[in-house]
């Protein structure tokens, strides 16, 4: 089950699907020294504010389940112009998510709150980033804002 209901801003273009992966529903309480004290709901508000400023429509979803994330990515074609995704732990393990991103034909930007390259060795490799147009890692909640801006610029160039 999605632990967050989908949130949607008012109808505009481009339309961006924002996807939060596993355990990000726990932000604020989860390892605050690594991930900060800001809740997912607050991060979503910041994303929506930036989306409004840029004139983007965002739909935001979170799931702890790999198959649901694959389905979300797969359903993006035709409905969304871009994907902003924090695949969380699946970044390092999921060939299925990488394949879904590569197959969907919708440009994606990967974001991480922490700098995954400065952490444990198993986090220093992203399976999903090569299927994305770019990655932002290490700026806390601002990674989402920078990622949204980068995705917006990449879409404008298309
Ligand atoms: C994360 C980094 C991942 O390694 C970790 O599994 C997460 C969060 C980040 O945003 O820093 O759950 O994606």
Give pLDDT, residue 1. 40
User: 11 alpha carbon to ligand 1 midpoint, in Å?
Assistant: 30
Question: 156 alpha carbon to ligand 1 midpoint, in Å?
Answer: 28
Question: SS in 3 state form for 42-101?
Answer: HHHHHHHHHHHHHCCEEEEEEECCHHHHHHHHHCCCCCCCEEEEECHHHHHCCHHHHHHH
Q: Which pLDDT score, from 0 to 100, does residue 8 have? A: 74
Q: Span 135-144, mean pLDDT?
A: 98
The strands making up 2-8's β-sheet, listed across from edge to edge, are 2-8, 57-63, 15-20, 82-86, 108-112, 134-137
Residue whose tokens read 């990449």: 154
What average pLDDT does the segment 54-60 reach? 97
- Residue-wise DSSP of 92-126: GT-HHHHHHHHHH-S-EEEEESS-GGGS-GGGS--
Mean pLDDT across the stretch 134-147?
Answer: 98
Ligand 1 neighbourhood includes 123 CB (under 6 angstroms): yes
Residue 145 has pLDDT above 50, yes or no: yes
Active site residues: 35, 112
Which among 25, 91, 146 is the best mutation to test ligand 1's pocket, defined by most ligand atoms within 8 Å of the CB?
A: 91
As a whole-number percent, the residues of the chain with pLDDT over 70 amount to 96
Does 23 contact ligand 1 (Cβ within 6 A)?
yes
Q: What is the pLDDT of residues 67-114, one digit of tens each?
A: 999 999 999 999 999 999 999 999 999 999 999 999 999 999 999 999
Quote the pLDDT of residue 6.
75
Q: Other C-beta atoms within 10 Å of 118: how many?
A: 10
Sorting pLDDT into bands at 50, 70 and 90, what band is 150? Answer: very high
- At residue 158, the pLDDT reads 84
> Residue 5: what pLDDT?
57
Counting from 1 in the atom list of ligand 1, the atom nearest the Cα of 22 is: 12
Domains of the chain: 2-7+17-157 (3.40.50.9100)
| Alpha-carbon torsion angle 2, 29, 48, 141, nearest 10 | -120
Mean pLDDT of 4-8: 67
Per the CB < 8 A criterion, the answer to whether 124 and 116 are in contact is yes
């Amino acid at each position: 089950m999605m632990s967050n209901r989908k949130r949607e801003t008012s109808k505009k273009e481009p339309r961006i699907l924002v996807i939060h992966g596993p355990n990000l529903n726990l932000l604020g309480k989860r390892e605050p020294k690594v991930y900060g004290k800001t809740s997912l709901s607050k991060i979503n508000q910041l994303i929506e504010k930036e989306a409004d400023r840029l004139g983007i429509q965002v739909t935001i979803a979170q799931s702890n389940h790999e198959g649901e994330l694959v389905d979300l990515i797969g359903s993006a074609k035709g409905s969304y112009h871009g994907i902003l995704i924090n695949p969380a732990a699946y970044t390092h393990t999921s060939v299925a998510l990488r394949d879904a991103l590569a197959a969907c034909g919708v440009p994606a930007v990967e974001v991480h709150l922490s700098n995954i390259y400065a952490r444990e060795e198993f986090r220093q490799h992203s399976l999903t980033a090569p299927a994305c147009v770019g990655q932002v890692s290490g700026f806390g909640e601002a990674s989402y804002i920078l990622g949204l801006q980068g995705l917006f610029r990449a879409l404008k160039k298309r």
